[in-house]
Every structure is written in structure tokens, then in C-alpha cells.
Amino acid sequence: MELHAIRIKLRESLPSDVFKPQPMRGIAAILLIPIVIVCSGIIIQYSLPWYVYLLLSIVIGQIYTIWGFIAHEALHGAIFQSNFGQYFLGYLGYIPFLISPLTWKFWHCQCHHGYTNFGERDPDFVGTIEEFSKSPVTRLRAMFTPGTHNWLSYIGFFCLFTLEGQYVLWFYKTDSDLADKFGFQRLRAKIETILMILFWILLGIMIGDRASLYIIVLPMLLGNFIYVSYILTQHLLRPTNSDVNHPLQNTISVTINPVLAFLHLNFGYHVEHHLFPSMSHQFAPLVSQALRQNFGNEYVSLPYLTALSLIIKTPRIHFDSETLIVPSSGQKVKLSEILSEVGQQAA
């Protein structure tokens, strides 16, 4: 069924108000700012056992992650209608990851959603075997991407989101027509990114090494891990394409226990998000239910840990649209076989 018809069919199963902006989610995110300030103040001012600092650091990291997820919704127009409100949440959410909201909107909202799994057109696509053999940048990205079995690929879980933001900003040059098409203000985004880096450096100098570890470094690492683990599992086990952008064919949703799903703001419902990008993730479970009822044979949803395990075990470089390859050995893996192993049928 064509994508337009699928969206119409799903809309018939959903309340009309789920497509309205949800400003209370943005307000709730803003109200978390005092918690970060208090936790940071305790770390700076008091001499406490290391495990107390670690617990406070995890709280800060979780809030950084929530802000990132809220920023994602906001820049899709799902929180506030005003550009000011959207970009305010964008800066709040992405400064911990050193990513300008301008970069994120171009990278994710425009290029990724407009050209999901379209090879070079989608910044999230790692590369083909031809690109891997010719491009040092592709090889470097692959080294940090889980699944390439390089020791750096395991470190990548804790920094890849930030690194990919820098890749899009500084090195993603095949998009010159897309940058013009979408009006990407690359110079402004570079300036904003440099200012973000300087902000964290100056803050670190002011608060000292110990506080920097627990307020800046560890929360950033935690936020990267959560973001990266979702992003990798949601597209990289699906085929590439060059002409059809269809969420039931190029996207996977992942399910996680209800507590983490709540803390992560339903970010695992990714097929649902690609079908209705401007709808808040608050209502994604309703879309998931409608998908299972109407398109159960095409909808792919995996348990989070299962999908993460598959990402770690399988290569990231494409031999062709349906096949992954290990460049060093030439070993090939069919994407359809990967999903069939866990009882799923690829579209």
C-alpha cells in the first residue's frame, strides 16, 4: 500500500487531538533545569562518597537525555508552534551533545527524514564498500560505529552521536544541493558549535576536574550511549534505497521495559515517528497499536536488547542494498536473514 494511503488508514484509528502540539512536554522539560542546578551544586560544594556523585551524575545524564528527546520533538513542531519555543528547546537539548539545533534540523528533520536510507543522501548511512575503499572519512566513521568490530566501535557507543553531529557540520559535503534546498545556515551552525564547546571548557575550568567529571563528562557519555543505541537499531538493519522512502520498509521500532520507555519518552517507537514526524512521541503507542492491527505483516518491532545485539554482531558497510559486508574479510550478511533469525519478516 502507498504511504499516503497508510497514513490515511492510520489517522482513521487515531483521535484527532494527537496531532496537536503538546506544550506541556516542553514546560515539563524546562522545569527540570533546577534539578540539574541542585545536583550540580551538591557535587561542587560538598565532599561526599564517590557513589553519591555517580548517582547525581546519572540523574544529570538522564535529564540531558530527556532534553535531547524533547528537543527532537520540538524541532519537528510537536511541542511549541513558535520558532522561538522550538529553538529554545533545541538549544537546551543539544548543547550537552555539542550540536547546534540548526545542524540537527538539517541533518535529521530534513535530510534523514526526507531521504531515509538513501545512501549518501541520508547522513545516518555509514557507507558502501566502494566508499569505504576510497574515503578516509567513511573509514573513520565506520571505525567508531558499533558493528565494525574495531575496538573504537565500542567506544563509539559513548560518543558517536556527538561525533556524527560534527561529521554533518564539518565534513558532509555531498549534500551541497540539499543545503541550498533546505537553507542550511552552516556558518552560523559552526559558530554556535564552537561557542558550545567553549562554554563547556570554561565551565569545566571554573568548577574543577572532579565536578567536571560528574557534571559534564559522565552525563554526556550516558546521553550519547542512550541516543546512539536507539539511532543505530532503528535503521541500520534495514535495506538501503534510492527512490522510495517508506517507513515500513526502512525503519524498525524497538520496545523496552515500561520504566525506561517512560524515561526515554517513547523514543523507541520509530516507525511511528517516521509516519507522523510532527506528532509527539507521547501518542506513539496508539500508532503502534493501529499498525499492528492494520499492517502487522509489514511492521517490524524488535525488543531493544535483541536489536542492540544484532547491531553489535553485524557489519555496517553495505555490499549492496540488501547485503552487509565485513571489508577486512569479505564476509557478507543478508539483512532479510538477520531479521528472520529473530522471527521477523523484512518488508
- Tens digit of each residue's pLDDT (9 = 90 or more) over 84-101: 999 999 999 999 999 999
Whether pLDDT at 8 is above 90: yes
pLDDT confidence band for 176 (50 / 70 / 90) = low
In the chain, % of residues over pLDDT 70? 97
Mean pLDDT of the chain: 94
User: Average of pLDDT values for 159-167?
Assistant: 96
pLDDT confidence band for 343 (50 / 70 / 90) = low
pLDDT at 174: 60
Residue tagged 565534513 (cell numbers) = 171
Rg (C-alpha) for the chain, rounded Å, is 20
User: Average of pLDDT values for 60-75?
Assistant: 98
3-state secondary structure of 325: strand
| pTM, 2 dp | 0.94
Report CA 273 to chain centroid distance, whole Å: 12
pLDDT at 119: 84
pLDDT confidence band for 120 (50 / 70 / 90) = confident
Virtual torsion, Cα 323, 255, 2, 238, nearest 10 deg: -10
* Range scoring the smallest mean pLDDT among 57-66, 130-139, 165-174: 165-174
pLDDT confidence band for 330 (50 / 70 / 90) = very high
pLDDT at 244: 87
Cα separation of 90 and 75, whole Å? Answer: 7
Return the H-helix or E-strand segment holding 44. helix 33-45
